[in-house]
Structure 1
Amino acid sequence: MVRYAEPGAVEWVESGGGPLIAIPETVLPFWAGADGEETASDYDRACEVGGPAGLLPVGDTTALVLGDEPAATATAYLPGHTAFVRWHPAGAEDAPPAGVPEALRTADWQPELCWRVPGPVLLFDAARPGGAGTGTGRVRVPLGPGTYAVRAARVQPGPETWLGLVHLRRLTD
């Protein structure tokens, strides 16, 4: 489900406990989610990605998996920070905590990954098939084609709230 803080503000994608995935639009039909006749579904493959962020082959490119948390969360892409922000507890109706800029500056980042994308991606629950259409439960992230450094961290701004951060930095091709 997509949540809106205020019209035109932040769009949230919720997960019922599994990973979210950011898939380039060009390969959406190749993502079967939890469906499929394979022994291991695409969703199973996404669940096997260790850590808060990882890459997974889809078609002739790769998708970014936002994982590492078996709990309900809400995730948004904040274009002003070029970052995905996963906020727990899920269901919060407001914009992310005001501490996001400070969290991005002071986080203890994990080693970077390099993610090459052909253009815009869609963020949604990895259990859903990519060809399931548009609408609720998906957020379009207008990335330009190129290579991005991806780094992830987890911060705890309050006693019962944590943020999962996945920051993107465009690299020169």
Structure 2
Amino acid sequence: MVRYAEPGVVEWVESGGGPLIAVPETVLPFWAGADGEETASDYDRACEVDGQAGLLPVGDGTALVLGDEPAATAYLPGHGLFVRWCAADSEEDVLASVPSAAATAAWGPELTWQVPGPVRLFDAAWPGTGLTGADQVRVALEPGTYAVGAARVQPGPETWLDLVRLRLVAPR
């Protein structure tokens, strides 16, 4: 986990070059990351997801893969967004541009994600059982069905963001 602002304000997760994944806490032990006995690891499956967001089965649940860019990513609960920092001069520039970027984004087709509760966001190469505080961020989601949409936005000449919006459509 990387902090660019004051500690505890915004927590960013970075990857070693592959996708990030949001795995429900209830199925974390079933995510093997790049480890495993299978010919295609969980990490390989995550790398095969096309585009900015996709869903993968994990145990008896489903994880959200944030693909396309290995960008530093934070979840902003007040906006219901994963914000992926593709290019910007500072965290301040990224965070200041989020409200207008989200309001004007051209959202792609939505996915439907069943979420049993909190998820952990981390580099898809890590196994779910080997996470430490520095490797991941806990995202406290309410149980229910979420519509997930993604958009690439350029809110300024030197600022590019990927946004992944979570919209609770059916609380449980």
TM-score, length of structure 2 as denominator length: 0.92
Single out whichever of 36-45 and 81-90 deviates more from structure 2: 81-90
SS of 2:26's equivalent in the other structure is helix
User: 1:7 is matched by which residue type in structure 2?
Assistant: P
Residue type of the alignment partner of 2:108: Q
Q: 3-state DSSP class of the match of 1:143?
A: coil
- Counting matched residue pairs gives 171
Q: Does 1:19 align with 2:11?
A: no
- CA–CA distance in structure 2, aligned partners of residues 172 and 85 of structure 1: 23
Instruction: Write 1 or 2 for the structure with the bigger share of helix.
Output: 2
Report the CA distance between 1:52 and its aligned residue.
Answer: 0.2
In structure 2, distance between residues paired with 1:16 and 1:92: 21
Gaps of 5+ in 1: none
- Match of residue 35 from structure 2: 35
1:17-50 CA-partner distances (Å, limit 9, x unpaired): 2100000000001001011121100000000011
Alignment of 1:70-109 (within 5 A): 72-89=70-87, 94=92, 96-109=94-107
User: 5 Å matches for 1:126-141?
Assistant: 126-141=124-139
TM-aligned CA deviation for residue 161 of structure 1? 3.0
Q: Which runs of 5+ in 2 are unaligned?
A: none
* Alpha-carbon distance in 2 for matches of 1:120, 1:145: 8
8 Å Cα contact 1:20-1:65 kept in structure 2: yes
Question: Offset of 1:75 from its aligned partner?
Answer: 0.3
Alpha-carbon contact 1:16-1:73 (below 8 Å) kept: no
Match of 1:45 in 2: 45
Contact 2:94/2:159 (<8 A) preserved: no
Distance in 2 of aligned mates of 1:92 and 1:122: 25
**What CA deviation, in whole Å up to 9, does each residue of 1:31-83 have, x standing for no partner?**
010111211000000000111000000000100000012xx421000011010
1:89-148 CA-partner distances (Å, limit 9, x unpaired) = 489555733110001000011001110011100000001110003310200000011100
* 2:73 maps to amino acid: T
- In the aligned structure 2, how far is the partner of 1:41 from the partner of 1:157? 37
Query: Which of 92, 112, 115 is matched with 1:114 structurally?
Result: 112
Within a 5 Å distance, the mapping from 1:128-167 to structure 2 comes to 128-167=126-165
Identity %: 75
Superposed structure 1 runs of 4+ greater than 6 Å apart: none
Letter in 2 for 1:30: F
Paired residue secondary structure (1:13)? coil
Alignment-derived partner of residue 54 in structure 1: 54
